[in-house]
């Protein structure tokens, strides 16, 4: 069930200021992990892969579980780790859940006749397929806020960022001037949306849309370089990644509300990184890796910039953190003999 993967390869830790933009400098500050890792169960009778993709403030987790016939099923894990299959629209064969809001509304994607469709699950209700732009051949739902506003993408050869309103309204968000495509990745309670705009050379640039749908480009670590915005919190802090040159590796980054960008520290030896989500206190999560071909490892950045590797079960080959809630519970996946959904729970 692939999603757009503009996950920028990271850059090595920098000890300079590029173009007047402040980077975290000096020896990276690291800390011991303060979490316990919990493996989330598969659907009953299944021995195949799972992944956790989103979490709400109450600790409800969503993602997918693969059945023995190798079909992905959208699922929800309650705080006690009980797993529930959410169900698919009639005629659809696979699906995943990408986000859940604090009212229990879940969004995600399903496949029918080989086509990906954005879907919504009301609490206790069936999957509802969301509308698409005329001429589109696929839609993807990436996030939902507590008002039920959903954001994602609708497209054919070119993808377009879209917003679905609870009333059924459907809006194309647009691109930066001259660009050809876009995708919305996250939304706040006040309707601020972040994501990417894509130019004709297929370079992504981090952007922010305000409630009126006006789009603003977010600066890269070195000016006009590829970047992506993946998460945003209620205070307006945005996280993602940026290159320093068009062809360099990418580096996890944070933008303040005023658009100021700062590179996030990396673990010693890492050469690239990406931040996927940020919670209300400013703690961010994502992954780092030693090189572009090395296995990723899940990391957490504290509000003060300290970086820590998240713990993993024995024999883990790679890991990634996809989301974090206000209390600091992190969700993601680890890989050893398969891909497995996990949550990292802060030690009290």
Q: Which domains does the chain have, with CATH numbers?
A: 35-346 (2.120.10.30)
Name the nearest CA neighbour of 60 among 150, 121, 140, 139: 121
Check residue 307 and give its pLDDT.
97
φ/ψ (deg, to 5) at 117: -130, 135
Q: Locate 317 and state its tokens.
A: 């080959």
Contact 98, 119 (CB under 8 A): no
C-beta neighbour count of 35 within 10 angstroms: 18
CA-CA distance, 339 to 182, in Å (whole number)?
29
C-beta neighbour count of 115 within 10 angstroms: 13
- Name the stretches of the chain with pLDDT < 50: 1-28
Check residue 91 and give its pLDDT.
95
φ/ψ (deg, to 5) at 68: -70, -20
Residue 212: exposure state from Cβ atoms within 10 A (0-12, 13-18, ≥19): exposed
Over residues 229-276, the pLDDT tens digits come to 999 999 999 999 998 876 678 899 999 999 999 999 999 999 999 999
CA-CA distance, 334 to 40, in Å (whole number)?
11
CA-CA distance, 89 to 189, in Å (whole number)?
28
Check residue 265 and give its pLDDT.
96
Check residue 24 and give its pLDDT.
39
Q: Locate 93 and state its tokens.
A: 């064969």
Question: If you search the block for the tokens 């944070």, which residue do you land on?
Answer: 254
The chain-wide mean pLDDT, for the chain, equals 89
Query: How far lies 201's CA from each of 80, 298, 340, in Å?
Result: 47, 30, 36
Query: How far lies 40's CA from each of 72, 166, 224, in Å?
Result: 16, 31, 41
Check residue 283 and give its pLDDT.
98
DSSP string, 123-136: TT--EEEPP--TT-
Q: If you ran DSSP here, which 8-state letter would residue 18 be given?
A: B
User: What is the β-pairing status of strands 330-335 and 251-255?
Assistant: unpaired
Model confidence, pTM: 0.90
Degrees, nearest 5: CA angle 118-121-122: 140
DSSP-assigned beta bridge partners for residue 222? none
CA-CA distance, 227 to 314, in Å (whole number)?
34
Helix (H, G, I), strand (E, B) or coil at 292: coil
């Amino acid at each position: 069930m692939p999603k757009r993967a503009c996950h920028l390869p990271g850059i090595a830790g920098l000890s300079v200021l590029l173009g007047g933009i402040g980077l975290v400098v000096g020896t990276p500050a690291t800390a011991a992990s303060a979490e316990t890792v919990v493996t989330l169960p598969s659907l009953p009778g299944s021995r195949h892969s799972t992944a956790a993709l989103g979490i709400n403030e109450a600790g409800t987790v969503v993602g997918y579980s693969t059945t023995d016939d190798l079909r992905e099923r959208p699922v929800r894990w309650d705080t006690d780790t009980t797993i529930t299959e959410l169900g698919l629209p009639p005629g659809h064969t696979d699906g995943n859940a990408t986000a859940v809001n604090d009212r229990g509304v879940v969004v995600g994607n399903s496949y029918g006749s080989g086509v990906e469709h954005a879907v919504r699950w009301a609490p206790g209700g069936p999957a509802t397929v969301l509308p698409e732009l005329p001429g589109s051949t696929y839609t993807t739902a990436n996030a939902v806020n507590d008002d039920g506003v959903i954001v994602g993408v609708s497209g054919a050869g070119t993808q377009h960022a879209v917003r679905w309103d609870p009333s059924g309204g459907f809006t194309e968000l647009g691109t930066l001037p001259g660009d050809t495509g876009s995708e919305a990745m996250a939304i706040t309670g006040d309707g601020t949306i972040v994501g990417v705009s894509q130019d004709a050379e297929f370079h992504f640039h981090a952007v922010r849309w305000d409630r009126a749908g006006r789009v603003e480009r977010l600066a890269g670590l070195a000016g006009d370089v590829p970047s992506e915005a993946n998460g945003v919190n209620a205070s307006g802090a945005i996280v993602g990644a940026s290159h320093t040159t068009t062809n360099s590796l990418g580096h996890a980054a944070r933008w303040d509300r005023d658009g100021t960008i700062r590179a996030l520290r990396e673990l010693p030896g890492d050469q690239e990184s990406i931040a996927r989500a940020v919670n209300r206190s400013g703690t961010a999560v994502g992954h780092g890796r030693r090189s572009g071909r090395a296995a990723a490892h899940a990391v957490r950045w504290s509000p003060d910039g300290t970086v820590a590797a998240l713990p993993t079960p024995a024999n883990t080959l790679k890991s990634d953190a996809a989301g974090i809630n206000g209390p600091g519970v992190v969700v993601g996946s680890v890989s050893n003999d398969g891909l497995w959904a996990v949550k990292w729970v802060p030690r009290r």
